[in-house]
Structure 1
Amino acid sequence: MKICVLYSGGKDSTYALHWAVFKGFKIVCLITLIPKREDSWMFQYPNVIYTRYQAEAMGFRLLTFETSGEKDKELEDLKKALVQAKNEGAVGIVSGALLSDYQRLNISIIAEEIGLKTYTPLWRKTQEEYMRWLVREGFKFVITSASAYGFPFDLLGKEITTEDVEKIIERARRYGFNPAFEGGEAETFVTYAPLFKTQLKVKGRLRRISEYECRYEITDIH
């Protein structure tokens, strides 16, 4: 079956892509929507412009689309992107939705409208075990933004290790945020995964936005 993958460059969409390949799907393209607003309800904002490097490292075709980032208008932008993917042969879409009903339902509704099947392989996975599995199976990623009370902000910009995952889980239990960040507590950028033919190296700078919000902005990638 030919499918497209909604791809943000983060751990969840990379896992969803990984799942699709190993289930035997043929990847027509990756789709990245680049929001004009930082507070997009549907799409990741930090460092999403660099998904082209990830697509190149994996050998997949990437389609990028700008989106307003406004709550309802961005759904129309998503629909246009999926229509193009369908026109190019995709009969389904895979996404990395983990816990957000808003994202999953909107993707499903739009896909049904235009006749695409939907697959959400991460849906309702056990959050803590999922994070452990990612690192154990060779997914390398950096945290590019965080906005949660109690979050270990010293991990931003650092390649996450097994010890870091345990630190995140411990803090999540103590302060009540989601350990896999599905509530928007943090965003990630994958630098290597089993499908990558080469590893990405990133450099960047930390920017403190407020007492409980920090961002790692990538300034160099190769």
Structure 2
Amino acid sequence: MKVCVLFSGGKDSTFALHWAVFKGFEILCLLTLIPKREDSWMFQHPNVEYTTYQANVMGYNLFKFNTSGEKDTELEDLYIALDFAKKLGADGIVSGALLSDYQRLNISLMCERLGLKSFTPLWRKNQEKYLLELIEDGFEFIITSISAYGFPYELIGKVISKEDAKRIISQARKFGFNPAFEGGEAETFVVNAPLFKRKLKVHGEVKRIGEENWKYIITHIH
């Protein structure tokens, strides 16, 4: 099975890629869609332009596509990217959709229009167990944005340890946000994973945007 992977650089799309490799799929390329709007319904916004570095240390070709980020028109942008994948010879698309019906349904519909299979290996996984399993399996990621009341904001820009993950889970139970961040409570950027040949070292700056809204702006990667 030849597949392309929708890749944002965050923990979910990186794990989906990891799953595809260990299922024996042939990875033709990674596809990154870069939204103009920060509040895109479909695509991650913070630091997605740096997926090139991740693709390089994993040894995969990556293709970037700009998207408006508008709720309806971004679906046509997705169609263009998936059509490109089909023309490369892909039989299917792998994505890191975790809990969002909107994302999973629209990816499936676009794949159906093109005669592609849609694979969502993370779908409906237990959110708490998944966060801990990621760290246990060697995924290292930093928090690049926070927008949830009760989320421990001092973790932004930090590689999340198992103890940090347990603290996030505890706060999620207390304040009611999603512990795996599927509701946009936080965004992540992977700096090391089993498929990485080298670890990425990331430098950046923290900005407070609002009362419960923090962002980590990556300024340099090596």
| TM exceeding 0.5 | yes
CA shift for structure 1 position 183: 0.6
CA shift for structure 1 position 211: 0.5
Give the TM-score normalised by structure 2.
1.00
Amino acid at match of 2:149: Y
| Counterpart position of 1:27 | 27
| Counterpart position of 1:214 | 214
**Match status 1:58 vs 2:58:** yes
| Counterpart position of 1:203 | 203
Give the TM-score normalised by structure 1.
1.00
Structure 2: where are the runs of 5+ without partners? none
| Counterpart position of 2:145 | 145
CA shift for structure 1 position 221: 0.4
* CA–CA distance in structure 2, aligned partners of residues 101 and 39 of structure 1: 17
Amino acid at match of 1:139: F
| Counterpart position of 1:121 | 121
Amino acid at match of 1:89: G
| Counterpart position of 2:70 | 70
Number of equivalent positions: 222
* CA–CA distance in structure 2, aligned partners of residues 59 and 5 of structure 1: 14
Structure 1: where are the runs of 5+ without partners? none
**Other structure's SS at 2:14 match:** helix
* CA–CA distance in structure 2, aligned partners of residues 148 and 109 of structure 1: 30
**Other structure's SS at 1:121 match:** coil
* CA–CA distance in structure 1, aligned partners of residues 101 and 198 of structure 2: 34
* CA–CA distance in structure 2, aligned partners of residues 139 and 154 of structure 1: 20
Matches within 5 A, 1:28-107: 28-107=28-107
**Other structure's SS at 1:206 match:** strand
Runs of 4+ in 1 over 3 A off after TM superposition: none
| Counterpart position of 2:189 | 189
**Other structure's SS at 1:197 match:** coil
